[in-house]
């Protein structure tokens, strides 16, 4: 394996929020799903379930659902609410609803605490999403994490007939970026790496906890 090429793909991946027309082919989609298929998961439960749509009408409905959520939250706090609009969910070639089979948590026999089971469950699905996004980036396709919050979940669940047994976690748009965002600064390795024991001199102060870089 060429590690430098892999790192180039990792550095190339972006959260794309502006898309242009252009098809994600069935072959490309298959490779993206294949990358997700090989993600590591707790007890090899492979708890992910993906609902894939290319239906333009459904995508427009998803966009309206998220737009209504944005309007409602903006109305609650017109001054301070800084949430980003998600109109782009209606502009892509493929929309993927990321679901999880929560019953798989009962397989984690060595993990007793519910909170620990939840961590392992969500991390397993996140691994699959991340690998899918990296595969997309390798083909110069844009993706972005979109949270499914309580305000939008019922409508999405109904529209895509997601069973109650499944958790509906994220939406992943896949498409051609109209503009590829520039890379944001990253903390240096030395800032977050500790050898043998945690270096308390590197513990960030409250004022240092912010989006990176701070706006």
pLDDT in tens, 110-146: 878 999 999 999 999 999 999 999 999 999 999 999 9
Predicted pLDDT of residue 204: 93
3-state class (DSSP) for residue 145? coil
Q: How many CB atoms lie within 10 A of CB 96?
A: 23
**Fold topology of 3-183:** NADH Oxidase (3.40.109)
Q: Whole-model pTM?
A: 0.94
Q: For residues 19 and 8, what is the distance between their CA atoms, to the nearest angstrom?
A: 22
Predicted pLDDT of residue 82: 87
Q: For residues 141 and 180, what is the distance between their CA atoms, to the nearest angstrom?
A: 10
Task: Give the contacts of 15 (CB within 8 A, at least 6 positions apart).
Answer: 143, 144, 145, 181
Predicted pLDDT of residue 109: 83
Residue ranges for the chain with pLDDT beneath 70: 1, 212-215
Predicted pLDDT of residue 212: 66
């Amino acid at each position: 394996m060429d590690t430098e090429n892999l790192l180039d793909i990792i550095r190339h991946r972006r959260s794309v929020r502006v898309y242009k027309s252009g098809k994600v082919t069935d072959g490309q989609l298959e490779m993206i799903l294949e990358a997700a298929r090989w993600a590591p998961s707790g007890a090899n439960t492979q708890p992910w379930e993906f609902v894939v749509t290319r239906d333009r009408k459904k995508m427009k409905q998803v966009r309206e659902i998220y737009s209504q959520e944005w309007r409602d939250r903006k109305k609650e706090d017109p001054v301070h609410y800084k949430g980003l609009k998600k109109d782009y969910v209606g502009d892509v070639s493929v929309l993927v609803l990321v679901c999880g089979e929560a019953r798989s948590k009962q397989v984690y026999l060595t993990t007793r605490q519910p909170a620990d089971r939840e961590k392992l469950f969500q991390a397993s699905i996140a691994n699959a999403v991340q690998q899918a996004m990296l595969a997309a980036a390798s083909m110069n396709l844009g993706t972005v994490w979109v949270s499914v919050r309580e305000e939008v979940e019922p409508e999405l669940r109904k529209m895509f007939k997601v069973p109650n047994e499944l958790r509906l976690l994220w939406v992943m748009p896949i498409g051609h970026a109209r503009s590829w965002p520039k890379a944001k600064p990253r903390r240096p390795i030395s800032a977050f790496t500790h050898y043998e024991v945690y270096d308390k001199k590197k513990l960030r102060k409250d004022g240092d906890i912010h989006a990176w870089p701070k706006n």
